[in-house]
Structure 1
Amino acid sequence: MLHKYSRLVVASTVLLILAGSFVTSTDSGLSVPDWPTTYGWNMFTFPPSKMVGGIFYEHGHRLIASTVGLMTIVLAAWLWMTDSRRWLKWFGVAALGAIVAQGLLGGLTVLFLLPPAVSTAHAALAEIFFCMTVAIALFTSPGWIDGYTAVGADDVRLRQLTTATTVVLYTQILIGATMRHVGAGLAIPDFPWMFGHVVPDHWSPAIAIHFAHRLGALIAALSILATSIYIWMRHADRPELARPATLIIFLVGAQLMLGAITVLSRRDIWINSLHVVCGALVLTTALVIALRSWRVKFANAASVVGIAA
């Protein structure tokens, strides 16, 4: 039951990320100029009839965030009371701390009128919190607890490759978040070319950030491809690795397509927002692969499987 609930928290966090991306895509971040109130109202008593235009996106985002926060309180308490793994109890507390910090950063972005540094930090922490919820869902899954039947020997190269790929993907998301929050999403207005060239023929800070995001996308895609090929060649008999290795190929293909269409559509709201969500799904899929590649290293560790307190 705990595992099912943790998966519900993951799904709710996906919705929260989508709502947050709509706020940025529609430039609605200051549609509600006060915080933690909404035009002087208690957040939870603000009339739905007044949720129009940008207020719908910003206030809706706050309500969803509050709901996820409450769900995380329940998750952390549930872990603390029922799970025997001390490290996982504290990991649940850390996840709760992350969502609280995330809410505070969200408030600061409003109170300080959307400073790029704070807004980017808000987006960066959102991805970390999402990763934490996915990790908790994984750690409470039957497969993790059973050690995936302890198939396969410890593969140091696999662990290094999957960990590096996850780091590359998170770095790419940070670059993308920076690009969004400094308004550089269309600094290079064409695709696949850049001002008609392979490399921009002129530069500005905005163009440099946009170019870095495109270059990062290529590096991330190649890292994912290398990881998946390695798994297919060396660990095809381990479905807990082979399945997500295949899934992530489809996800990164969709992500690259969404990124291209975002530019070609002049940042269509839906496309732009789905690009953010898909990026988060790519990151967490890579994280699952990485964590599962590390699981075999602790095949005999009671503290990992929950036998000991």
Structure 2
Amino acid sequence: MFGASVTSNDAGLSVPDWPTSFGYLVKVPHLVGGVRFEWSHRMVAGSLVILTLAIAAWTFFVERRSWLRKLALAALGTVVAQAILGGMTVLYLQPPAVSTAHAAVAQTFFCIAVCIAIFTGRKWVEEVPQVEHDTRRPSLFTLTLLSIFVLYVQLVLGGMFRHRGMSWWPHVVHAALVAFVLTWTAIRALSVFSKIEAVRKPAIMMLSLLITQLCLGFAAFLTRVAWGKDSVQPELPMVVSTVAHVAVGALLLATTVVLAIQVWRHVPVAFAERVPGTERTPQTV
């Protein structure tokens, strides 16, 4: 949200140097104009690096699962990469590709952090998976992976538009594909595997966030493109709708990742032995 507020308020270059802020590492500058957004964003980012370092250290010394230790290190590497991309955004005067990568890596880090929270939770450790094999094609797990992919593409298209790297229409057109794929995934999950709570809850959440995101996207389009294209400076409705749109988009992506994880755990793909003459057309939903 802090990063989105920086972009929405055109405050990305309000602090012109990096990693210092007006020549200082910790001194608080005069928080006027866009400086308050950019400097606050940097302070939150710095705090996030410290917290992630603590999580990685704790996981390395306490956690027995080696793959989870590697995931914590991946989180640390991602947040460091995020900081470097943020610095490059400032030093190279906000090139659209770098700024978009900065946004994409941020949401990747958020998803990794959510995964760590799930994997270290008591429910994940103590729960006995309620397994129900998936015989349909494409499988629900495949649909969740496809959902994550189209969301990432949408994230890149939206980032390029916000950072003036391309027009708005690819982002808007691709939103229709995102809506179709995520709705298909949610309907499959809720119609076939609704008895599995770990699958049902994130599927409902994903569908709810999708509807909210489409409404916020429409509001952001109106305030930014239709009504605000000739504005001298960003107006409050545009800032609020855009920041909310980005925030809900991050929640939607993370929720879809959670759904994919739960489907992987509770709904494994069934590979039935094929007997000549008994093949059946896979069921689809």
Range into which the TM-score falls when normalised by the shorter chain = 0.7 to 0.9
Q: Cα offset for 1:296?
A: 3.5
The aligned residue for residue 56 of structure 2 is 76
Between Structure 1 and Structure 2, the one with more helix by share is: 1
Partner of residue 9 from structure 2, selected from 13, 26, 34: 26
Q: Whole-Å Cα distance in 2 between the matches of residues 239 and 32 of structure 1?
A: 47
Q: Whole-Å Cα distance in 2 between the matches of residues 29 and 102 of structure 1?
A: 15
Q: Whole-Å Cα distance in 1 between the matches of residues 197 and 123 of structure 2?
A: 11
The aligned residue for residue 131 of structure 2 is 152
* Structure 1 unpaired stretches of 5+: 1-17, 185-205, 299-309
Q: Cα offset for 1:145?
A: 2.0
TM-score scaled to structure 1, two decimals? 0.79
The aligned residue for residue 239 of structure 1 is 197
Partner of residue 206 from structure 2, selected from 248, 257, 271: 248
- Residue deviations 1:139-173, cap 9 Å, x none? 11223223x42212232611111111111111111
Q: Whole-Å Cα distance in 1 between the matches of residues 162 and 151 of structure 2?
A: 16
Contact 2:96–2:165 (CA<8 Å) still a contact in 1?
Answer: no
Q: Cα offset for 1:277?
A: 0.6
* Structure 2 unpaired stretches of 5+: 229-237, 269-285
The aligned residue for residue 61 of structure 1 is 41
Partner of residue 240 from structure 2, selected from 265, 270, 273: 270
Query: Could you say what the CA RMSD is over the residues aligned between the two structures, in angstroms?
Result: 1.5
Q: Cα offset for 1:70?
A: 0.5
- Residue deviations 1:205-230, cap 9 Å, x none? x2xxx221112111111111111111
Contact 1:144–1:295 (CA<8 Å) still a contact in 2?
Answer: no
Q: Give the number of aligned pairs.
A: 253
- Which SS does the other structure have where 2:132 is aligned? coil
The aligned residue for residue 51 of structure 1 is 31
Q: Percent identical across equivalent pairs?
A: 40
Q: Whole-Å Cα distance in 2 between the matches of residues 155 and 81 of structure 1?
A: 38
Partner of residue 175 from structure 2, selected from 191, 208, 217: 217
- Residue deviations 1:159-199, cap 9 Å, x none? 11111111111111111111111265xxxxxxxxxxxxxxx
Contact 2:5–2:243 (CA<8 Å) still a contact in 1?
Answer: yes
Q: Which amino acid aligns with 2:17?
A: D
Q: Cα offset for 1:32?
A: 0.3
Contact 1:25–1:269 (CA<8 Å) still a contact in 2?
Answer: yes
- Residue deviations 1:249-297, cap 9 Å, x none? 1111111111111121236111111101111111110000001111247
Partner of residue 258 from structure 1, selected from 216, 221, 228: 216
